[in-house]
């Protein structure tokens, strides 16, 4: 799974670098990033996260109990429901786009607003197809087939890269943004199509039928709505970011998106990968209540240890070496040094809650495995409420109080989300400990990981000082590779590393 996500994210970084080359932090970049968020809400609400929490536990349990025919009927019914619902919502979204723009980006005016409307109307059908792609992912994950489903977005990214390279030399930024939206829709279809043959091996022949009355469909639907609401309140947070960002000047919305691509890399590689891999296994746990609780405690302990080992150096790197990371990926074409510093600040703000958000995903998966979708919903609502209040203060009044440029409030948006993420994580952990017993703490190991990461990042910072920063493709590898090598070496030497993962990297059997 991590391999598939890594491939997808690396190609996504290439896509964003090409995007930065042609768009920089311009009005067209803001328009495309804002437009992409609106149909993306449809994908996030009905896509991977919701399906994983509501569909996989039921489907995986049926398979664990060897009720394969019922599992197939459930998968077919869920697919038919998704086709119907997403088609209707995509059509409504296209028609309602002008009103959506007024709600999500009221700070956009004139040509910038008109471009955003056009882009949203193009992107909505592609988002609907990506929801069906997420259904494929749910089927394949339940059958423990992870590589294809998590590497499938590579073709979507490649379609967008090809569009940028083909059209970037001959079209204005406004026209190129329209072409890129079309390329995104083509890529969405390709992402679904490449997974379909593997899915049909498990569900052939695929029969589409709307079965609202089936017991298992009713269970999925019952689980779906709390998770849907949970994802919905998270989308409110993303909506508020865009809404506030539209008032923070040219480049603010684009900077949020550039930073998001980077900080979601460890979230996806480690938080999402571990959580998604554990969900089918935790959902398949059988036995007495105490046996199931013991299995969950063991998986939570191992998963949290894995997440901390990789996420902690990511967070430290974003703060201390974030300018090197941003410059290596984005410093090209229209993306200059001032843009590097701006995105670095936004990225550093996001690192505040990086460990909490990734660890919280694993706890949420444990609740979903126990068929409890309401507890994560309650805490998600609280997190979003905190994000709203803190985000407003950090983004708008605080920069004026400090006498700095208003657009630096963009970093305050990501910082506020991080603080709220810690509150949610602590609440999830406390509730789960009450449910299954205390998960063994590794606070000492975590503190040592933080210390090692900071010392190694300081060494990387020293290397940066003696290198020409205007050559980011040289500086990046010279700083980041030693940082990673030092961290891996020191943690292994101190006995706090991930020995199992290191053996895999070295090609040895554990």
Q: Between 182 and 413, whose confidence is greater?
A: 182
List, for residues 352-392, the tens digit of each pLDDT value. Answer: 989 998 898 888 888 888 878 788 888 888 888 888 888 88
Q: Between 136 and 490, whose confidence is greater?
A: 490
DSSP H or E run through 482: helix 472-494
Mean pLDDT on 131-135? 83
- Looking at 11-20, 159-168, 272-281, 451-460, which range is the least confident one? 272-281
Between CA 464 and CA 348 the distance in angstroms is 18
Q: Quick check: 127 pLDDT over 90?
A: no
Q: Quick check: 85 pLDDT over 50?
A: yes
| Residue 265 · residue 357 · CB < 8 Å | no
Q: Quick check: 412 pLDDT over 60?
A: yes
Token digits for 362?
A: 């694993």
Q: Quick check: 498 pLDDT over 70?
A: no
pTM of the model: 0.69
Position 214 confidence tier, pLDDT thresholds 50, 70, 90: low
DSSP H or E run through 49: helix 48-54
Q: DSSP assignment of 342-410, as one string? A: HHHHHHHHHGGGHHHHHHHHHHHHHHHHTT--HHHHHHHHHHHHHHHHHHHHHHTHHHHHHT--GGGHH
List, for residues 223-282, the tens digit of each pLDDT value. Answer: 666 666 665 555 666 666 767 777 777 778 788 888 888 888 887 777 777 777 776 777
List, for residues 292-324, the tens digit of each pLDDT value. Answer: 888 888 888 888 888 999 999 999 999 999 999
Q: How many residues are given for the chain?
A: 510
Q: Quick check: 490 pLDDT over 70?
A: yes
Q: Between 493 and 246, whose confidence is greater?
A: 493
Handedness of CA 104, 106, 111, 114 (dihedral sign): positive
What pLDDT is attached to residue 52? 62
Between CA 38 and CA 118 the distance in angstroms is 12
User: What's the whole-number average pLDDT of the chain?
Assistant: 82
Contacts of 146 (CB under 8 A, 6+ apart): 1, 4, 140, 276, 277
Contacts of 197 (CB under 8 A, 6+ apart): none
| Residue 459 · residue 310 · CB < 8 Å | no
Percent of the chain with pLDDT strictly greater than 70? 86
What pLDDT is attached to residue 500? 57
What pLDDT is attached to residue 190? 94
Mean pLDDT on 98-121? 81
Mean pLDDT on 155-176? 90
What pLDDT is attached to residue 508? 40
What pLDDT is attached to residue 509? 38
Position 4 confidence tier, pLDDT thresholds 50, 70, 90: confident
Position 164 confidence tier, pLDDT thresholds 50, 70, 90: very high
Between CA 299 and CA 275 the distance in angstroms is 10
Token digits for 200?
A: 């049909």
Q: DSSP letter for 270, please.
A: I
Q: Domain map of the chain by residue range?
A: 1-228, 248-510
Q: What is the CA radius of gyration of the chain?
A: 22
Q: Quick check: 451 pLDDT over 90?
A: yes
The burial class, CB within 10 Å (0-12 / 13-18 / 19+), for 95 is exposed
Alpha helices (runs of H) in 47-109, residue ranges in sequence order:
48-54, 56-64, 68-95, 97-104
- Looking at 52-61, 197-206, 392-401, 455-464, which range is the least confident one? 52-61
- Looking at 71-75, 347-351, 420-424, 475-479, which range is the least confident one? 71-75
């Amino acid at each position: 799974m991590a391999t598939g996500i890594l491939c997808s994210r690396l190609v996504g970084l290439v896509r964003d670098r090409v995007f930065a080359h042609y768009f920089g932090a311009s009005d067209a970049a803001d328009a495309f990033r804002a437009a992409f968020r609106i149909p993306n809400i449809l994908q996030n609400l009905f896509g991977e996260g919701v399906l994983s929490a509501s569909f996989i536990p039921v489907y995986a349990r049926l398979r664990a109990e060897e009720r394969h025919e019922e599992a197939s009927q459930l998968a077919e019914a869920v697919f038919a429901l998704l086709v119907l619902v997403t088609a209707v919502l995509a059509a409504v979204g296209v028609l309602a786009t002008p009103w959506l723009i007024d709600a999500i980006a009221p700070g956009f005016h004139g040509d910038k607003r008109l471009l955003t409307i056009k882009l949203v109307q193009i992107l909505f059908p592609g988002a609907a197809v990506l929801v069906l792609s997420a259904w494929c992912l749910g089927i394949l994950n339940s059958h423990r087939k992870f590589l294809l489903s998590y590497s499938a977005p590579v073709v979507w990214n490649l379609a967008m890269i090809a569009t940028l390279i083909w059209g970037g030399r001959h079209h204005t930024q406004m026209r190129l943004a329209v072409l890129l939206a079309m390329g995104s829709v083509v890529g969405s279809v390709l992402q679904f199509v490449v997974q379909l043959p593997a899915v049909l091996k498990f569900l052939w022949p695929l029969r589409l039928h709307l079965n609202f009355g089936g017991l298992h469909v009713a269970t999925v639907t019952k689980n779906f709505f709390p998770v849907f609401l949970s994802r919905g309140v998270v989308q409110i947070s993303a909506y508020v970011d865009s809404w506030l960002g539209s008032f923070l000047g040219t480049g603010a919305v684009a900077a949020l998106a550039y930073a998001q691509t980077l900080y979601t890399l460890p979230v996806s590689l480690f938080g999402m990968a571990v959580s998604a891999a554990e969900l089918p296994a935790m959902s398949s746990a059988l036995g007495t209540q105490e046996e199931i609780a013991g299995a969950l405690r063991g998986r939570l302990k191992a998963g949290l240890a894995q997440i901390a080992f990789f996420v902690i150096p990511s967070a430290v790197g974003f703060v201390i070496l974030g300018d090197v990371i941003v410059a290596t990926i984005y410093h090209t074409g229209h993306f200059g040094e001032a843009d590097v510093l701006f995105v670095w600040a936004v990225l550093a703000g996001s690192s505040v809650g990086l460990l909490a958000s990734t660890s919280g995903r694993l706890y949420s998966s444990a609740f979903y495995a126990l068929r409890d979708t309401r507890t994560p919903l309650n805490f998600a609502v609280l997190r979003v409420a905190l994000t709203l209040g803190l985000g407003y203060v950090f983004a708008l009044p605080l920069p004026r109080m400090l006498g700095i440029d208003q657009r630096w409030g963009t970093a305050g948006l990501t910082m506020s989300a991080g603080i709220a993420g810690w509150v949610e994580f602590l609440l999830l952990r406390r509730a789960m400990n009450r449910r299954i017993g205390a998960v063994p703490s590794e606070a000492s190991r975590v503190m040592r990981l933080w210390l090692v990461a900071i010392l190694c990042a300081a060494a990387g910072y020293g290397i940066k000082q003696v290198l020409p920063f205007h050559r980011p493709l040289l500086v990046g590898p010279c700083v980041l590779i030693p940082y990673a090598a030092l961290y891996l070496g020191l943690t292994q030497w101190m006995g706090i590393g991930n020995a199992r993962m290191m053996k895999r990297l070295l090609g040895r059997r554990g």
